[in-house]
Structure 1
């Protein structure tokens, strides 16, 4: 099972809740998760800036290990930022948390993931 989470929230509290939802999903051993992607677009891209109030939460999500995810085969974990949203907000790629992937468009990435069988969850 693979899941795509989508966050466009601009408030750090909402962004933190979105990342906590992702962590909770990874920790739920009743869900046979093989892949998780969290896509940030709109004002949500501020969450993945290296200096954001939730940057450590993003780093923590990207650093999850098989033991922490309760899975003998750790699911792939990806965090993506929309290039259109970054450009519209004058955020350069080198300002992002290390490990965040920049995708051509957030909506395009979510569409591709759903076509590939990912379940979609809007968070928060």
Structure 2
């Protein structure tokens, strides 16, 4: 899933969509990656209005999930976007991965067989 939305309402909707996808027993999801770039990187800040949603998704790993069918989730942020906005990596929610570029990460994931969903 790809999010570059600036508003916390749009970011919250994006994370709700991700949670809904994971909760849909009819969807065959082995793993989910949320890639944040552009203004969307602000969602990954530990003090962001949607930080709890980010933490909630990151907690949905097979080892920590309460439901045995939960999928592994990664949240990646674009290093270029962080640098452009002077957001230090140590201000991010624990567990968020910084990647060199959001678009590069999306391209790599698609080459590995991941689908692409733009949210919101």
Structure 1: 4+ residue segments shifted above 6 A: none
1:1-124 pair list within 5 angstroms:
5-64=1-60, 65=65, 67=67, 71=69, 74-124=70-120
Cα distance in 2, alignment partners of residues 43 and 17 from structure 1: 15
TM-score normalised over the length of structure 2: 0.94
Question: How many residue pairs get matched?
Answer: 116
Deviation at 1:20, TM superposition (A): 0.2
Unaligned 5+ runs, structure 1: none
Deviation at 1:75, TM superposition (A): 2.1
TM-score normalised over the length of structure 1: 0.91
Equivalent position SS for 1:108? helix
Cα distance in 2, alignment partners of residues 111 and 56 from structure 1: 28
**More strand, by proportion:** 1
Unaligned 5+ runs, structure 2: none
